[in-house]
Amino acid sequence: MGIVVSLYDQLEIKLQGTRNGKYTQSELLATRDDMQNEIMRQLESLQNEIEDAIKVTDGVYDLSKRLRGILTKEVGAAENKKNELQLAKSSWGAKLRGAIQWDALSDLQRETVQRDLDLMESALLIVDTTKRGLNELTMSLDAFFEAVTYAKKKNTGAIYMGLDVEDLLKSYHEDLEEARRKIAGWN
C-alpha cells in the first residue's frame, strides 16, 4: 500500500506542477492513467498474495494441530527433566561441600571454598544474563532486517511517473522523512 500512497503523492506533485506550468495537461492525464494502471497491477498482485497466504495459512494450521499433540507430550517430559535439573542445581553446593569434607576444613579454607562457590554462582548468572541479552539483540536485528527488506522492496517497487528531477527529489525527501519517523518509533 505504500506504493499506492507514493503514486498518489506523485500525482499531487504533478497536479501542482501543471497548475504552475511545469507540466502539460496531457502529461498530467497520462500520469493519471499510468497511476491507475499501476494501482490495478498492485491490487491484483496483493490479491494473489492474499490467496497464496490463505493457502499457506491453512497448511500451517493443519500442521500446527499435529505439532500441538506432539509438543504436549514433549512438554510433560521436558517439565520432568527441568524439575530434575532444578533439584540437581539446588543441591550442587551441598554435594560439593560433602565431597570436600566441609567439617575437616579450616576457617580460611571454608572461606575460600565459599568464595569460589559464590563466584561460580555469579558466573552462571552472568552467562544466563548474557544469553538473554544476545537473544534480545537477535530479535532486534531480525526486526531491523525486516524493516530494511521492506524499505528495499518499496524502493525497488516504486514507480516515478515522469517527474522532473526537482519533484523526484521532493518525493525521495518525503519517503526519507517517513522512514526516519518509523526508525525513531523503534526507540
Q: Per-residue pLDDT tens for 2-25? A: 777 777 788 888 888 888 888 888
Question: How many structural domains does the chain have?
Answer: 1
Q: What is the 3-class SS of 139-172, one letter each residue? A: HHHHHHHHHHHHHHHHHHHCCCCCCCHHHHHHHH
Q: Per-residue pLDDT tens for 131-164? A: 888 878 778 777 777 766 666 665 555 566 677 7
Q: For residue 98, what are the domain limits?
A: 2-186
* pLDDT number for residue 153: 61
* pLDDT number for residue 93: 59
Cα dist from 107 to 103, 140, 181, whole Å: 10, 49, 62
